[in-house]
């Protein structure tokens, strides 16, 4: 092959490498943008639930918010007896939506779910779906959660925020999805200022000494059973009572 041909091939190789690098950078940027950019789920049930939730918010008298995905929505199902015991008399509202990622929560909070209320406390747990639906890296999920905290601080300046670590999932500690969530949690612990935002990691309550998660606590190794919801409520009750300024 001639020197000219070799030079041409070298230039083409470099150009292709630069193109691939640009596409990779663009994809990474778009992925982070998704985690931080408000967007609704395009499902009829989701829109209907959002509309019902906004109607409830417009009634006022809200002291406590639970914000999250299907794990939080489950307070209305397997967690109902525990909810009735701990939260029914605390003027609590459930803002948990099945399959939500960080951007879906952001959209909801910016479209009526915080309007006209001044709750004493908002409890936030979100992010496990970012690891599976779009396979976001930990830093992107953490950025989406930080955007949620910023929205809450801006729209509810008098409300305290309890940010929970993403709950453990999968049976073993070395499961890849568990590791992704653990990496997110390491970043979340730095977002608390202990004045407006407080961080709490309850995950050890759900695991045995070897870090294994049992189906007794989370039957599908993701969503809590009735026992799981009781462990959740009991684990944060002292801090919830303090942040609500209850005697």
Q: For residues 144 and 36, is the Cβ–Cβ distance under 8 A?
A: yes
Measured CA to CA in angstroms, residue 204 lies from 61, 118, 165, 232, 240 at distances of 34, 32, 11, 11, 18
Q: Which of 2, 209, 220, 247 is catalytic?
A: 220
Task: Give catalytic status of residue 50 as yes or no.
Answer: no
Q: For residues 122 and 156, is the Cβ–Cβ distance under 8 A?
A: yes
Q: For residues 144 and 127, is the Cβ–Cβ distance under 8 A?
A: yes
Task: Give catalytic status of residue 2 as yes or no.
Answer: no
**Cβ neighbours of residue 215 under 8 Å, at least 6 residues apart?**
221
Q: For residues 50 and 105, is the Cβ–Cβ distance under 8 A?
A: no
SS3 134: coil
Report residue 165 as tokens: 């670590």
Q: What letter would DSSP give residue 74?
A: G
Q: What letter would DSSP give residue 76?
A: G
Task: Give catalytic status of residue 247 as yes or no.
Answer: no
Measured CA to CA in angstroms, residue 170 lies from 133, 188, 217, 239, 243 at distances of 16, 20, 12, 27, 31
Q: Which of 63, 70, 99, 214 is catalytic?
A: 70
Q: Which of 50, 100, 136, 223 is catalytic?
A: 223
Active-site residues, by number, are: 70, 220, 223
């Amino acid at each position: 092959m001639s020197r000219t041909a070799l030079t041409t091939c070298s230039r083409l190789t470099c150009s292709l490498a630069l193109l691939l690098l640009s596409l990779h950078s663009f994809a990474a940027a778009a992925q982070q943008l998704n985690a931080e950019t408000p967007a609704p789920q395009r499902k009829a049930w989701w829109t209907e639930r959002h509309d019902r939730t906004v109607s409830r918010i417009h009634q006022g008298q809200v002291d406590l918010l639970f914000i999250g995905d299907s794990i939080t929505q489950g307070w209305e199902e397997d967690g109902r007896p525990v909810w009735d015991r701990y939260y029914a008399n605390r003027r609590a509202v459930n803002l948990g939506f099945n399959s939500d990622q960080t951007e879906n929560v952001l959209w909801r909070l910016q479209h009526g779910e915080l309007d006209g209320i001044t709750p004493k406390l908002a409890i936030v747990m979100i992010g496990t779906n970012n690891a599976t639906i779009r396979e976001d890296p930990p830093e992107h999920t953490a950025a989406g959660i930080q955007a949620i905290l910023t929205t809450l601080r801006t729209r509810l300046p008098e409300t305290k925020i309890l940010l929970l670590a993403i709950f453990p999932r999968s049976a073993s500690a070395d499961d890849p999805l568990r590791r992704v969530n653990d990496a997110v949690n390491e970043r979340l612990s730095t977002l608390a200022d202990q004045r407006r935002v407080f961080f709490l990691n309850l995950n050890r309550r759900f695991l045995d000494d070897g870090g294994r998660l049992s189906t007794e606590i989370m039957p599908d190794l993701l969503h809590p059973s009735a026992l799981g919801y009781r462990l959740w409520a009991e684990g944060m009750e002292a801090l919830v009572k303090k942040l609500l300024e209850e005697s």
